[in-house]
Amino acid sequence: MDITPTAPRLLVVVAHPDDEAFGCGSVLAHATAHGFRSTVVCATRGELGEPAPGSGLTRTDLPAARERELRAACALLGVERVELLGYRDSGVDGDPEPGSLAAAEPDRLREQVARLVEEVRPDVVVTLDASDGHRDHAAMRDATLAALDDVSHRPAVTYLFCLARSLMTAFTAVDTLGTPDEEITHLVDVADLLDLRWRAIRTHASQVPPFDAMDPALQRGFLAVDRLRQVDPPWPGGPVADSWIPAVGTDHDPVHHTERKALR
Ligand SMILES: [Zn+2]
């Protein structure tokens, strides 16, 4: 599909390189296939990720390698612009280091996201549900949702990219992780994007994807369906939707009903 200056726009806000592929990979691929221009905002360079065995990477090499992987995965997924906010990965616990995302002033982070929303003027915003309990994911989710109150351009719709509780329980045997399935408002079949999604995942060669530890059925559960929770405007209720693309347009380029139908 042609990419035109008036194409609809998607902004995906994440914390670490690989969140955009392990998490939102098929949202981005789906957006590209439907003519969206996408921007990925990533807060850190994933400094505290565990280098994959055999990658030959040290902690010192890791940030540059992970930035390259992020940019390569985004290119593969058709993302037009990647913005790094320059924080350090906080890791899952412990005292936050200076410069880490967990040490960031929430108002400053909110301002940074708001500035990008004003600049990009997205129709759709997607951020993480943070239901895996990682504090960096929660920081970006909270900053993104707070930023919506500060912007003159409010996106048509904002979603959380969800890890379903049923799948997280099956994977971890912990039943408090994941977004409760009944809170998920959108289930989008992205099975046709699986090959591309896997290529984007494998682009992050410095990391071992969690999917490698799953049996094929569970892998498919995580990767063949995108689960989103509409948070702004609040989900009005009713049956779960099968497309996240807004049915009515915005100030600059409506996504017409015909295109929405073509998705189904
Ligand atoms: Zn992450």
The two structure tokens encoding residue 45: 């360079």
Rounded-to-integer distance, Cα 229 and Cα 179, Å = 9
CB 59 within 8 A of CB 44: no
Average pLDDT over residues 58-75: 96
Mean pLDDT in residue range 89-110: 96
pLDDT at 223: 98
Q: Are 46 and 84 in contact (CB under 8 A)?
A: no
Opening angle at CA 245, ends 241 and 247, nearest 5:
85
Tell me how far the alpha carbon of residue 163 lies from the centroid of ligand 1, in angstroms: 12
Residue 165 is predicted with a pLDDT of: 98
Q: Which residue has the tokens 């990419």?
A: 3
105 is a domain residue? yes
CATH number for the domain including 132? 3.40.50.10320
Give me ligand 1 centre to Cα 152, in Å: 29
What is the DSSP annotation of 160-202? EE--BHHHHHHHHS-TTSSB-GGG--EEEE-GGGHHHHHHHHH
Residue 209 belongs to some domain of the structure: yes
Ligand 1 centroid from CA 111, angstroms: 21
pLDDT at 20 over 90: yes
> Does residue 13 sit within a domain?
yes
Strands lying side by side in the sheet with 37-44: 81-87, 37-44, 9-14, 124-128, 157-161, 225-232, 186-189
The answer to whether residue 3 sits within a structural domain is: no
CA of 43 to the centre of ligand 1 (A): 10
Q: Is residue 2 part of a domain?
A: no
State in Å: Cα 196 to ligand 1 middle.
20
Tokens of 188: 């989008």
CA of 56 to the centre of ligand 1 (A): 22
Domain residues for 191?
9-263
Percent of the chain with pLDDT over 90: 90
What pLDDT does residue 255 have? 42
**Any domain includes 4:** no
Q: Reduced to 3 states, what is the DSSP secondary structure of residue 248? A: coil
- C-alpha of residue 46 to centroid of ligand 1, in Å: 8
**CB-proximal residues (5 Å) to ion ligand 1:** 15-16, 19
**Range 145-173 burial, b when 16+ CB lie within 10 A, else e:** bbbbeeeebbbbbbbbbbbbbebbebbee
Residue 251 has pLDDT above 90, yes or no: no
Q: How many domains does the chain have?
A: 1
Measured in Å, residue 155 CA sits from the centre of ligand 1 at 24
Query: How many angstroms separate the alpha carbon of residue 165 from the centre of ligand 1?
Result: 17
- Helix, coil or strand: residue 156: coil
* Cα 5 to ligand 1 centroid, rounded to whole Å: 31
Q: Has residue 103 been placed in a domain?
A: yes
Q: Give a yes or no: residue 92 inside a domain.
A: yes
Question: What confidence tens digit (pLDDT) does each residue in 162-202 have?
Answer: 999 999 999 999 999 999 999 999 999 999 999 999 999 99
